[in-house]
Amino acid sequence: MDPFAHLPDLRDRLTPAAESPVRGTPEALARWDERARDQGLPASWRLSDRQLEDTRRALLSRRVPSQDLWVFGYGSLMWDPGIHFAELRRAHLAGWQRRFSYRTILGRGTPERPALTLALEPADGHCSGLAFRIAAADVEVESAMLWRREMLRNGYCPTLLPLATPQGEVIALVFASNPAHHDHVGELPLAEAARIIAGASGAVGSNRDYLAQVAAQLDALGIEDRYITDLLERVRRLAGD
């Protein structure tokens, strides 16, 4: 099956896994560790390799080993999943909303000026995004790649939740917010979130570009998210656009 059979227009809008700067290979992890050292962070800036593996296996133990694994993308996964996938679908996750509620000091931020990144927060409505199916034979390798990317600082609560897709319901891996984490800031007022995003930048780019990429991919998918569009408008006004 063509992975893009359901969404052929996205074929040129997703970064191939082999070209992804955030694919969690051991080499990429070594680069991220070096970047953290350069910023003066201690070795404990992230979970150890053993902790990462333990949390990954704890999640995977809740599924049948012979099954494919679905993954929900609501932020940067929507344009740079960093994994090899066998199928791509539109998806809706009930009871959650995307919010810039997690502070990050690497990537698009620094310890001196942290950036904000997206997490899923409980809500009455739903969050629309993409569902990626990893073939059962590839789950072990690809989930490890994803885990190193998403769970380095234990900032999310990985869980398995039902997604509605045009082709039917699936159970998917979802990286929800972790309110107990010290970098979880909750839903900030739009003015405060816009001020932080407008001024933060790091080794992989600006926080503003991240927000703009989210907005652009949602627009390409025909997904309306007033929170994202209102936030981007505020950031642009601050920048004098």
Would the pLDDT of 91 be above 80? yes
The CATH architecture assigned to 8-238 reads Roll (3.10)
Q: Where are the domains of the chain?
A: 8-238
Structural contact between residues 128 and 92, judged by C-beta atoms closer than 8 angstroms? yes
Beta pairing, strands 201-202 & 205-206 = antiparallel
- Regarding predicted confidence, which is higher, 173 or 36? 173
Q: What pTM, to 2 d.p., does this model score?
A: 0.95
Is 187 noted as a catalytic residue in this protein? no
Which pLDDT belongs to residue 18? 95
Catalytic entry in 27, 112, 150, 233: 150
Which pLDDT belongs to residue 111? 87
* Mean pLDDT over each residue of the chain, to the nearest integer: 95
- For 61-65, 88-92, 127-131, which range has the lowest pLDDT when averaged over its residues? 61-65
In percent, the amount of the chain with pLDDT more than 90 equals 89
CA–CA dist 41, 235 (Å, integer): 29
For CA atoms 170, 171, 174, 176, give the dihedral sign.
positive
What residues does 119 pair with on adjacent strands?
Answer: 99
Would the pLDDT of 182 be above 80? yes
pLDDT in tens, 95-105: 999 999 999 98
Would the pLDDT of 241 be above 80? no
Which pLDDT belongs to residue 133? 98
The total number of residues shown for the chain amounts to 241
Beta pairing, strands 156-163 & 87-104 = unpaired
